[in-house]
Amino acid sequence: MSGHSITEPTRRQKWIAAVLVIAYTVIILIPLLWIISTGFKSPSDAISYPPKVIFTPSLEGYVNLFTTQTRITPDMEATLPPPETWYERLVREKGMVIAGPSRYGQRFLNSVIIGFGSTFLSVFLGTLAAYAFSRFRVPIKDDLLFFILSTRMMPPIAVAIPIFLMYRQLGLSDTHLGMILLYTAVNLSLSVWLLKGFIDEIPREYEEAALIDGYTRFQAFRKVVLPQAAAGIASTAIFCLIFAWNEYAFAVLLTSGEAQTAPPFIPTIIGVGGQDWPAVAAGATLFLLPVMIFTIMLRKHLLRGITFGAVRK
Amino acid sequence: MAEIEIRNLRKDFGDFTAVHSSSFTIRDGEFFMLLGPSGCGKTTTLRMIAGLELPTAGEIWIDGEEVGQKRAAERDIAFVFQMFALYPHMNVRQNITYPLKSQGMGRAGIAAKLAEVARILGIEDILEKPVGGLSGGDRQRVALGRAIVREPKAFLMDEPLGALDAEFRERMAEELRALHDRINATTVYVTHDQLEAMQMGDRIAVMNAGRVEQIGPPQQIYDWPASLFVADFIGSPAMNFLSFEGQVEAGGAVVGIGGVSQAIPRQLDAGAGRLVLGVRPEHVRLHEPDAARIQGEVIASEYLGTTRIVTVQTAHGTVKARIPAAENARVGEAVGLGLDPAAITLFDAESGRALLSEANREVLADG
């Protein structure tokens, strides 16, 4: 070869790029890896100094996370039957017994219900609203769109006190419905704006063709627009879920029992039996999984969604 | 198949009137062209016939039924879009059969129709392909397939060749016309390309600024334009216009242009004041300069293979003459213009309308 293409990077450039990307990835993954590994350390390994990178893995953190335990005296222990399961044995070795399940499972379930519930609602309402804004002559459309967006012009927590009072009045405090509505309200502006952009990119001719082919407006929307907007809907859903899943401040303020999500619950583990870092790390690790799985499932769409409309096909 | 009749159709978008009260009839089985520059209202008219826009006023009759305010789905027409609008998440077969599914046709019926349409269009081998990878021509064929599969009352086409390469356009235009002749479907075709309109249309409606200026077969429109706009829009190069102050009486067959007496068809309308004499380039001959002819100086000469376009600067504006390529005219040469009296149209410069003469009477009387 006598020369190289201007647009195609050279081998050397590709190498440099690869090294940079890998270095960056490693750096941002270190805290995450640290949390994951801490979850598998024994409590003493977790706080040892200098920190241990190589350690004997233990599931103690996970057992502590999912159970509540009571200390027993050796006399009492003698009266108990021998431990039946591996986790009972693990607890017994510390001179304790399992008193019952912890509330982590239930808090986790709350997070799933509230996170996915509000994501579904945000995307569902957002798609319909975005479609209307994109296709119909809505009076004062631009003002409405600006108005919707203005809810994002301050940190949501700025309205914490009014919402706290409102929720107390309406009986929505510490309810699943209340949290779903709250996160939906916060996410809706984002989802309307994102989805409007995606739907604007879909040529009207597709629906018009369907209208002429004998379909109603709603059928055209469902069978022609929705499949086209799938990438946009998927990436919007990911953004909405990440917000609702990770939200901490409102969750602390508005939930304490019934509807408490995992983020405010995880720090409370610290106090349960000394500073149980492995249990906290285990809780955080498990908490990562649903969003990670969801994102990986929609990854193909996410990439397409982000670059949507960049290149005119 | 069906006749389409437009009565006093009007469309306003806010303060803007896209289509001013137009009326015309598209005959059963006709290939009808709506021709005009962009923004002239031709696409809006088509979309109103389709039911994609509702008229502000007026009526649309398809096959003896008034459908002006009906939904697109209830009109039984097919529409071919400029960008084809093939459903991108479906393959060719699914695209073509989609309209049949909405009608609730059975599986066997759909398969038979699909096979027939695929054969007519010669796309049997691409039925299972996704539409994304198809060439422009194949996309166009699939779009046509989706239109003809339903055997609708009429086909409406919005610049269907606009997105194709020039080379391919020619071929698709022929295919389209052949397809029309074969299934004999009433077709309304929107284009801004006058050559396309003349090549394919049985009749052309020339639109300008929301109004229909003239309707007729291509040759009538070309030979006897009803207005300056039509004369200018149709033909390449366009009709020559010589503007002058003068007058012509009803029954007169001569008009004085700057001291030269020019023979013209016998006039039925009188005209006075600012007039325009229109003549096509092929009806202009170059002669030695003499006082009995309009004179000018050659300012350009373009060789086009079989013919040559010579541009002459006169006191009344530039005139282009289409002469045999073998003849030549040197730039700077003084020439006298010989205008074929039988092919001249006089226009009133104020209104832009053609003055009626014995030559254009028949054409303009029914337009």
Mean pLDDT of B7-14: 91
B316 in helix, strand or coil? coil
What domain range includes position A76? 43-102
Q: What is the pLDDT of residue A5?
A: 67
* A119 and A211 co-located in one domain: yes
- CB proximity B51 to A under 8 Å: yes
Whether the predicted pLDDT of B37 surpasses 70? yes
Q: What is the pLDDT of residue A3?
A: 56
- Which residue, A68, A102, A136, sits at the end of a domain? A102
- CB proximity A57 to B under 8 Å: no
Q: Which residue of A has its CA nearest to B99?
A: A213
Pick from A205, A206, A214: which is nearest to B73 by CB?
Answer: A214
* A94 and A175 co-located in one domain: no
Q: What is the pLDDT of residue B332?
A: 92
* A162 and A257 co-located in one domain: yes
What are the pLDDT digits (tens) for B64-85? 999 989 988 888 899 998 888 8
Whether the predicted pLDDT of B229 surpasses 90? yes
Which residues in chain A touch residue B79, judged by CB atoms under 8 angstroms apart? 208-209, 212
What are the pLDDT digits (tens) for B267-314? 998 888 899 999 999 999 999 888 888 999 999 999 999 999 999 999
Report domain extents, chain B: 4-223, 228-366
Which residues in chain B touch residue A213, judged by CB atoms under 8 angstroms apart? 73, 98-99, 102, 146, 150
Flag if B52 and A208 touch (Cβ within 8 Å).
yes
User: Is A11 a domain residue?
Assistant: no
Amino acid at B112: A
What are the pLDDT digits (tens) for A28-45? 999 999 999 999 998 888
- CB proximity A211 to B under 8 Å: yes
- CB proximity B83 to A under 8 Å: yes
Task: Between A1 and A86, name the one with better pLDDT.
Answer: A86
Strands (E), A42-181: 67-71, 96-101
Pick from B51, B79, B89: which is nearest to A209 by CB?
Answer: B79
* A61 and A147 co-located in one domain: no
User: Chain A closest CA to B215's CA: distance in Å?
Assistant: 27
Question: pLDDT exceeding 90 applies to what percent of chain A?
Answer: 43
In this prediction, residue A272 has a pLDDT band, given cuts at 50, 70 and 90, of low
* A123 and A156 co-located in one domain: yes
* A178 and A293 co-located in one domain: yes
Of A85-94, A178-187, A266-275, B278-287, the range with the lowest mean pLDDT is: A266-275
List the structure tokens of A141.
């459309």
**Any idea which architecture B4-223 has in CATH?**
3-Layer(aba) Sandwich (3.40)
* A149 and A297 co-located in one domain: yes
* A124 and A144 co-located in one domain: yes
Q: What is the pLDDT of residue A116?
A: 95
In this prediction, residue B132 has a pLDDT band, given cuts at 50, 70 and 90, of confident
- Which residue, A75, A102, A129, sits at the end of a domain? A102
User: Is A23 a domain residue?
Assistant: no
Q: What is the pLDDT of residue A203?
A: 87
pTM for the structure as a whole: 0.77
- Alpha carbon distances (Å) from A108 to A115, A177, A227, A240, A291: 10, 16, 32, 18, 12
* A207 and A145 co-located in one domain: yes
What are the pLDDT digits (tens) for A48-75? 888 888 888 989 889 988 988 888 888 8
- CB proximity A97 to B under 8 Å: no
CA distance A144 to A192: 11
User: Is A126 a domain residue?
Assistant: yes
Pick from B50, B103, B132: which is nearest to A212 by CB?
Answer: B50
User: Is A48 a domain residue?
Assistant: yes
A301 in helix, strand or coil? helix
Domain B228-366 has CATH 2.40.50.140: yes
Q: What is the pLDDT of residue A149?
A: 86
Task: Between A186 and A5, name the one with better pLDDT.
Answer: A186
User: Is A22 a domain residue?
Assistant: no
Pick from A208, A214, A228: which is nearest to B102 by CB?
Answer: A214
Q: What is the pLDDT of residue A313?
A: 38
Pick from B50, B83, B88: which is nearest to A228 by CB?
Answer: B88
User: Is A312 a domain residue?
Assistant: no
Q: What is the pLDDT of residue A312?
A: 40
Of B35-39, B167-171, B197-201, B210-214, the range with the lowest mean pLDDT is: B167-171
Q: Which residues contact B319 (CB under 8 A, 6 or more apart)?
A: B240, B242, B279, B281, B284, B294, B296, B311, B312, B337
User: Is A263 a domain residue?
Assistant: yes
Flag if A214 and B78 touch (Cβ within 8 Å).
no
CA distance A80 to B93: 72
Q: What is the pLDDT of residue A43?
A: 84
Q: Looking at the 3D structure of chain A, how many domains does it have?
A: 2
Residues A282-304 as b/e (b if ≥16 CB within 10 A, e otherwise) read bbbbbbeebbeebbeebeebbee
Which B residues 145-174 touch A at CB under 8 Å? 146, 150
Which range, A85-89, A215-219, B340-344, is most confident? Answer: B340-344
Query: Does a cis peptide bond (omega within 30 degrees of 0) precede residue A290?
Result: no
What are the pLDDT digits (tens) for A136-195? 888 898 999 998 888 888 887 888 899 999 999 999 999 999 999 999 999 999 999 999
DSSP states along B107-149 = HHHHHHHHHHHHHHHT-GGGTTSBGGG--HHHHHHHHHHHHHT
* A204 and A137 co-located in one domain: yes
Q: What is the pLDDT of residue B367?
A: 46
* A47 and A183 co-located in one domain: no
What's the CA dihedral at A65, A69, A74, A76 to 10 degrees?
-150
Which residues in chain A touch residue B150, judged by CB atoms under 8 angstroms apart? 213
Which residues in chain A touch residue B50, judged by CB atoms under 8 angstroms apart? 208, 212
Mean pLDDT of B210-223: 94
In this prediction, residue A1 has a pLDDT band, given cuts at 50, 70 and 90, of very low
Question: pLDDT exceeding 70 applies to what percent of chain B?
Answer: 99
Query: Does a cis peptide bond (omega within 30 degrees of 0) precede residue B237?
Result: yes
- CB proximity A228 to B under 8 Å: yes
Beta strand pairing call for B77-80 and B254-257: unpaired
CA distance B197 to B194: 5
Flag if A215 and B78 touch (Cβ within 8 Å).
no
- Which residue, A74, A102, A130, sits at the end of a domain? A102
User: Is A155 a domain residue?
Assistant: yes
- CB proximity B135 to A under 8 Å: no
User: Chain B closest CA to A10's CA: distance in Å?
Assistant: 30
CATH classification at residue A246: 1.10.3720.10
Mean pLDDT of B325-331: 87
For residue A310, how many other CB atoms are within 10 A of its CB? 6
Mean pLDDT of B118-138: 87
